[in-house]
Amino acid sequence: MNRREPGSTPPARAGHTSPAIGGGENGATSYEDDSVPGLLKKLAFDLSTLFSQELALAKAEMTTAVKDVRSGVSSAAIGGGVLYAGLLFLLGGIMLLLAYWVILPVAALIVGALVTIVGAILLRSGKKRMDTNALKPERTMEAVRKDADLARRKAK
């Protein structure tokens, strides 16, 4: 077993080049060589270690985030497919219910026409909202114009 006595320094590990000897106040690292060049060298080592650890953390977080997004997209796609199938069955049921009063082909035409009209209205509404002019921050641009006019008047 590799047990060490309390208060002793940990054994050196292969490939570990940190000059730290541990035992600093409040968990801080203390060093044998406290000269300015030695401290700068140790600072550079600690910064590179910190940077690599932060990079590893960012990579792990991004991997988790991508997995979550991928899971959400697949769930939304499956939900959309099931919803579409449900909508088709509802429309078929409405068509069959309407067939009690009119013949089946006429019922199919009525349901199809109503769904087409609703779809066209939704499409037109969506296209209006996606207009490139809708992306302009009109209120912000107007406020900036007013500020510029005020600045010009004050400068005169």
pLDDT surpassing 90 at residue 67: no
CB 17 within 8 A of CB 46: no
Residue 134 lies in a domain: yes
Domain that holds residue 115: 99-156
- Let me know whether 109 and 154 are in one domain: yes
Distance between CA 131 and CA 136 in Å, rounded? 10
57 and 104 fall within a common domain:
no
For residue 135, pLDDT beyond 70: no
Q: Which of 69 and 154 is assigned the larger pLDDT?
A: 69
CA-to-CA separations, 26 to 11, 15, 22, in angstroms, rounded = 21, 26, 11
Q: Let me know if residue 88 belongs to a domain.
A: no
Q: Are residues 26 and 69 in the same domain?
A: yes
56 belongs to a structural domain: yes
Say which amino acid occupies 76.
A
Q: Is residue 21 part of a domain?
A: yes
pLDDT tens-digit readout, 34-60: 788 888 888 888 888 888 888 888 888
Task: Give the pLDDT confidence of 73-86 residue by residue, as tens digits.
Answer: 889 899 989 999 99
Q: How many domains does the chain have?
A: 2
Q: Residue 148 and residue 154: Cα distance in Å, rounded?
A: 10
**pTM across the whole model:** 0.47
- Which range has highest mean pLDDT (2-6, 81-85, 134-138)? 81-85
